[in-house]
């Protein structure tokens, strides 16, 4: 269910005719209000054990803001399908970065998957020129993917100590404070009833609910595995854009997207095999 929700969030990048920074500012602001009311009504605490922990989560929120803005901008300059497929190289980046955070060397096979994923991106882009909007979309999507991978890995570290809703709430506060000064046209957007409704739905269902569940899933799965399991999102998102926005993906996009999603699926099976081997070794040692 969460995969389906997060797969269709990209439609708002096209439905709201405003810059990405403005859309994300409104999204974050309303999400802070909704989650704040949730904490208030439930009488839950949002305090941290130390100011250092708060600053760490707040800093992750700044990465989250940059990820959201680059992701929506990628979609706006290209298409929903291009933006989503570019973003979904992040499981491969997670596979490269996750071992480094644990003081280990990345698996050489992760480098192979990264190269193969970039080959898939190459298939999507008809012209490797900044004047080509598809190329711009891919570049911004990859930047967003790297930021998202880092954000998820760092968030997982803090989820051991704090609830998912509290972590998301702090990250959204950071996102709001960082982006609001640059949110050109925010009040114009919120003054229009249709766009206001879009923002409330975007904040309530597609942000507060979906991302709280997503962060909670990180406590039970590796970030890489959780990412690969969500590879259905580009399919849902592309089909939704096709139906609602009339964005018909070209044949080369399906080919490149197939390569990218193949890498993601391959990674989840690889991780599963590693987990099973680790479990067998642990049992034998006992």
At 44 the pLDDT is 82
pTM above 0.75, yes or no: yes
At 230 the pLDDT is 62
At 280 the pLDDT is 45
Q: What is the DSSP string of the chain?
A: -HHHHHHHTTHHHHHS-S-HHHHHHHHHHHHHHHHHHHHHHHT-----S-HHHHHHHHHHHHHHHHHHHHHHHHHHHS-HHHHHHHHTTHHHHHHHHHHHHTT-PPPHHHHHHHHHHHHHHHHH-S--STTSHHHHHHHHHHHHHHHHHHHHHHHHHHHTTS-HHHHHHHHHHHHHHHHGGG-TTHHHHHHSHHHHHHHHHHHIIIIIIHHHHHHHHTTTS-HHHHHHHTTTHHHHHHHHHHHHH-----HHHHHHHHHHHHHHHHHHHHHHHHHHHHHHHHHHH-
pLDDT tens-digit profile, the chain (286 residues):
444 445 567 788 888 999 999 999 998 998 899 889 988 888 888 889 999 999 999 999 999 999 999 999 999 999 988 998 888 888 788 888 888 877 788 778 777 877 888 888 888 887 788 988 989 999 999 999 999 999 988 988 887 788 888 998 999 999 999 999 999 999 999 999 999 998 888 887 777 666 666 666 655 555 555 555 566 677 767 777 887 788 877 777 778 878 877 877 776 677 666 665 554 444 444 4
At 109 the pLDDT is 79
């Amino acid at each position: 269910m969460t995969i389906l929700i997060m797969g269709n969030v990209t439609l708002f990048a096209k439905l709201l005719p405003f810059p990405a920074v403005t859309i994300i500012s409104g999204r974050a602001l309303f999400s802070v209000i909704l989650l704040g009311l949730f904490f208030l009504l439930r009488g839950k605490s949002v305090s941290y054990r130390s100011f250092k922990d708060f600053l760490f989560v707040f800093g992750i929120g700044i990465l989250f803001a940059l990820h959201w803005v680059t992701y929506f901008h990628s979609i706006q300059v290209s298409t929903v399908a291009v933006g989503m497929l570019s973003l979904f190289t992040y499981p491969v980046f997670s596979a490269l970065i996750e071992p480094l955070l644990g003081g280990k060397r990345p698996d050489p096979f992760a480098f192979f998957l990264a190269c193969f994923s970039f080959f898939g991106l190459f298939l999507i882009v008809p012209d490797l020129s900044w004047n080509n909007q598809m190329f711009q979309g891919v570049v911004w999507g990859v930047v967003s993917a790297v930021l998202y991978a880092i954000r998820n890995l760092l968030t997982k570290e803090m989820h051991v100590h704090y609830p998912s809703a509290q972590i998301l709430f702090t990250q959204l506060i950071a996102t709001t404070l960082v982006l609001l000064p640059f949110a050109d046209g925010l009040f114009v957007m919120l003054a229009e009833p249709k766009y206001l409704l879009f923002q409330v739905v975007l904040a309530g269902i597609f942000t507060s609910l979906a991302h709280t569940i997503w962060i909670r899933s990180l406590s039970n799965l590796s970030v890489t595995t959780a990412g690969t399991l969500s590879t259905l999102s580009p399919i849902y998102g592309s089909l939704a854009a096709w139906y609602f926005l009339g964005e018909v993906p070209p044949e080369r996009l399906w080919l490149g997207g197939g390569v990218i999603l193949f890498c993601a699926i391959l990674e989840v099976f690889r991780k599963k095999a590693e987990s099973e081997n680790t479990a067998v070794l642990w049992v034998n040692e006992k």
